[in-house]
Amino acid sequence: MHRTLASPRTAIWGGAAGLIFVVLLGSVIHLLGNGPLPVDSWWLVLMRSVRSSAGLVVAEAMAVAGGTTWMIIVGVLIVVTLVLKQQFRSSMIVVASMVISEALTTLMKLGFARERPIESLSDTGPMSFPSGHTTLAATVAVALALLVGRGLMWGTAAAWTVAMAWSRTYLAAHWLTDTLAGAILGASISLLIWAALREREANTTRAHHLHDEHRHVPRGPIRIHLSRGK
């Protein structure tokens, strides 16, 4: 794997800040009645005004591609590829990120219980915050970007996440803030999982080095000097 553009410490701070932001955003929306914020209403009207048959086809195709079933298939293919290359730590990052992403998304949907827009063209469930499609898209994309470590991959990850967020709001399946929360949540989870495993690997390597150094410390012969009494 190539050297990544992020460091474990930066990833931890960024991931923690992202999780806090999502929880705070969801809490504020919940306290305000779980309805749309002004930016949500504005964006919904904008998406409705530019909606077209071709746009709907693209958005619906992305909804299928970014759904749980296809993303699980993609995740399995990625993990199998990494295992065949004997990159077991990388495969663990992908698996853990996807599982935790789905778990946290479900818990937040149930906890915040925000409803989708009334005119939603999606039938994936009544709860809206955060967007599951966007969360999973960001999770997988950022995990791959961290593992590959190339600037181009980061750009691709951002583009894919933004495109998925657009498709969900284009179909009125989510409010804009749902997709914003999903993108940040998914990215944060991958950052934290990657950083945790990197730190664990670094600690294990340091421990092995210390053990090897201790074993190879040169030891001279023990000499005992006895003094003669007069």
Q: Which of 12-16, 119-123, 207-211 has the highest mean pLDDT?
A: 12-16
Q: What are phi and psi of 115, to 5 degrees?
A: -85, 155
| Structure token digits, residue 162 | 């933004």
pLDDT of residue 221: 56
Answer whether residue 6 shows pLDDT above 70: no
Give domain status of residue 103, yes or no: yes
Q: Which of 7-21, 174-188, 208-222 has the highest mean pLDDT?
A: 174-188
Give domain status of residue 61, yes or no: yes
Give domain status of residue 187, yes or no: yes
Whether the CB-CB separation of 157 and 194 falls below 8 Å is answered with no
Give domain status of residue 13, yes or no: no
What is the band of 171 on the pLDDT scale with cuts at 50, 70, 90?
A: very high
Percentages of the chain per state (helix, strand, coil), in multiples of 5: 75, 0, 25
Over range 170-192, report the average pLDDT. Answer: 96
Give domain status of residue 220, yes or no: no
Answer whether residue 208 shows pLDDT above 60: no
pLDDT of residue 54: 95
Q: How many helices (H) and strands (E) does the chain have?
A: 8, 0
CA angle 168, 5, 100 (to 5 degrees): 45
The mean of the pLDDT values for the chain is: 86
Give domain status of residue 91, yes or no: yes
What is the band of 108 on the pLDDT scale with cuts at 50, 70, 90?
A: very high
Q: Residue 107 is part of which domain span?
A: 56-197
pLDDT of residue 105: 95
Tell me how far apart the alpha carbons of residues 193 and 74 are, in angstroms, rounded to a whole number.
Answer: 19
- The three-class DSSP label of residue 143 is helix
- Percent of the chain exceeding pLDDT 90 equals 65
Tally Cβ neighbours within 10 Å of residue 22: 23
Range scoring the smallest mean pLDDT among 117-121, 159-163, 182-186, 187-191:
117-121
What is the band of 209 on the pLDDT scale with cuts at 50, 70, 90?
A: low
Over range 121-138, report the average pLDDT. Answer: 89
What is the band of 230 on the pLDDT scale with cuts at 50, 70, 90?
A: very low
Range scoring the smallest mean pLDDT among 104-108, 113-117, 127-131, 207-211:
207-211
Write the CA distances from 173 to 31, 58, 141, integer angstroms: 22, 14, 21
Give domain status of residue 37, yes or no: no
pTM (two decimals)? 0.83
Give domain status of residue 35, yes or no: no
Tell me how far apart the alpha carbons of residues 95 and 139 are, in angstroms, rounded to a whole number.
Answer: 10
What is the band of 1 on the pLDDT scale with cuts at 50, 70, 90?
A: very low
Domain count of the fold of the chain: 1
Answer whether residue 191 shows pLDDT above 80: yes
